[in-house]
Structure 1
């Protein structure tokens, strides 16, 4: 005899799982730390702890978020995490990321255009996709930040950073070939830089890739598979 799970029971279970994981992350961030994670309930979270003060944020790829800041003792003893859970459910802040964390890529498969694209795909699959409005190429995490949803160009930039520490005969040529191939794939044909563009060829290719990643309903999984397909095209020449 089949049994249909009780939706209410499942919701209660997920809520408790979320609360437990938030409390664990708060402990891991002690005494001062900034952590990003994807809970097993499918929520992207940030935990920022500064000694006995903590901020927890739940967010999605579009920039929507709910957050709470409290003293650690109050946060853990109170129902704050449960309130965040309810707000996240109300705002529908589920992500398209993996339900369990995976190890971030730490080295290139090869110092080639395919290696760059594979690395960027792995990073997107791990952290999720941040979508900027078309025509804007910024990412919410700058500098050396390796966690949290990022744009496709930002994932590519992280691959370039790793390439700097990887033996390679001509890093600039590898970079240009990879970005050209990716932009052409995003455009569906060889990209032609218009006469009115004054920012240079490479920056126009980046803008093409950024606008592709900003398309409605674009997902991290879809973007990652697209980059992998571009990497296979790069290997085939």
Structure 2
């Protein structure tokens, strides 16, 4: 049961570390603040169950103040024993990477919990004696130097990547600014042209528009001879005038219809 409480305590501490890291980015987040308070209370209760002082520091790894380059005794995952190691990286989530002295210098660093690190003076569950303390110390020193060089390389790579990203962002912003300037110039040019046309009295209306009271000849079409929109030509039916009627005959000048005069018929 005690081992379970120890593991739970470690998990609570890791969660608290993550919550604090998130609060650094959003200090006024109500949910994160409430979660931090809850984790503080749970950690305090767990420490009481373990018979430890509740005022014990809850920061992961804070008891020894571990940092990159420190020599320590770390738990190896393969056999669950402690071996001399050097810290190559410490993360905000409560984990770290260490290089073990009994492994080849070109081997990859292994990840472990910061809270499980021990000072070399402890020697508890240490497997270093089986591999020779002197050779282990020499290898540890070499790995410490390699770890520092590797960390420097990673830092330089991150810096170069960040600079490249910043240049890319700046170039994109410059292109967007140029495009905005072109659009603004075209906009002003069109506005200037529109104002000039209005000053000259040219109103851009379509000649095919439906005629209105101010423009009876507004609609133009094929075969209308420019008189579209007007009514049909009035037509008057001709009136019949008998021969000899007033205004008729060849000498008549009436406005009516002119009839043809036939000679009188003769009967034999």
Q: TM-score range by the shorter chain?
A: under 0.3
From the CA coordinates, give the structure whose radius of gyration is larger: 2
TM-score when normalising by structure 1: 0.25
Q: Looking at both structures, which has the greater relative contact order when contacts are Cα pairs under 8 Å and sequence separation is at least 6?
A: 1
Instruction: Report which of the two has the higher share of helix.
Output: 1
Question: Normalised by the size of structure 2, how large is the TM-score?
Answer: 0.22
